[in-house]
Amino acid sequence: MSELAQALDAWDDPDLLPFGAGKEAHADFLAWTDTPTAVPGPVNLGEIVAGLRDRLPADAVICNGAGNFSIWVHRYTRYRRYGTELAPISGSMGYGVPAAIGMKRLAPERMVVAFAGDGDFLMTGQEFATAVQYDLPVIIVVADNGMYGTIRMHQERHYPGRVVGTGLKNPDFAAYARAFGGYGATVEKTADFFPAFEAAQKSGKPAILHLKVDPEALTPTMSLTATREKAQASG
């Protein structure tokens, strides 16, 4: 037996599932992604992402950039076909908007939805002009919590209460969309999202849906205050 074969024979990986455990693991996945967790504030991004499952065609393409907002997208979206997600693998902020525009240009018959954080959108949001210029009706969902959420999370974890350079003074993103000639709507509670989404579709224009997200909704399972308090208690 070769050295490689011997090594493989002796390898005991605790992360490997035993044969036949796939169905159980899949059931666990469905349960974990089924019902969105409660979060602070009137806009629950998890409920929005989960609610889109039955409203998007199977070949719809979901795009996103980088940031804590994408945790909800990755957890609650269920992809039914290959080639229906465009997302960065290197933590690149600003990826989702140009990816969505490029995808819509490549496949105009497919629905394309981009999710972006506020800071994430501000990296490349000017590309909305390209979507309007070339009549590419993408729908961009901007989760606006007034901060660089991921960086703030790490600040609170390592230096609780010491906030430096992570607060944002944002524009009215819905008005921004209309200024370019697109469709724009502001969403201040979860129930308002789906009528706004349908209106964006019917408009036939590139659209921005501006979600007013509570900054306390840091992740699906941890608020900003809880993150700070946990760090203070362990320090």
What's the pLDDT at 9? 63
What's the pLDDT at 12? 61
What's the pLDDT at 110? 98
- Whether residue 218 contacts residue 150, with contact meaning beta carbons closer than 8 Å, is answered with no
What's the pLDDT at 5? 61
* Count of structural domains, the chain: 1
CA 121, CA 65: separation in Å to the nearest integer?
8
What's the pLDDT at 220? 96
- Whether residue 146 contacts residue 103, with contact meaning beta carbons closer than 8 Å, is answered with no
Instruction: To the nearest 10°, report the CA torsion of 75, 76, 82, 83.
Output: -80
23 occurs within a structural domain: no
CA 142, CA 120: separation in Å to the nearest integer?
9
What's the pLDDT at 136? 98
Residue 134: give its domain's CATH number. 3.40.50.970
What's the pLDDT at 93? 97
> Any residues with CB less than 8 A from the CB of 10 and at least 6 apart, and which?
none
User: What kind and span of H or E run contains 133?
Assistant: helix 128-133
What's the pLDDT at 4? 61
pLDDT 10s digit of each residue in the chain, 235 long? 566 666 556 556 666 667 677 888 889 989 999 999 999 999 999 999 999 999 999 999 999 999 999 999 999 999 999 999 999 998 899 999 999 999 999 999 999 999 999 999 999 999 999 999 999 999 999 999 999 999 999 999 999 999 999 999 999 999 999 999 999 999 999 999 999 999 999 999 999 999 999 999 999 999 999 999 999 999 7
The whole model's pTM is what? Answer: 0.91
Per DSSP, 215 falls in state T
What's the pLDDT at 109? 97
- Whether residue 132 contacts residue 205, with contact meaning beta carbons closer than 8 Å, is answered with yes
151 occurs within a structural domain: yes
181 occurs within a structural domain: yes
2 occurs within a structural domain: no
Domain of 81 in residue numbering reads as 44-234
95 occurs within a structural domain: yes
CA 204, CA 136: separation in Å to the nearest integer?
9
The gap from C-alpha 202 to its chain's centroid, in whole angstroms, comes to: 23
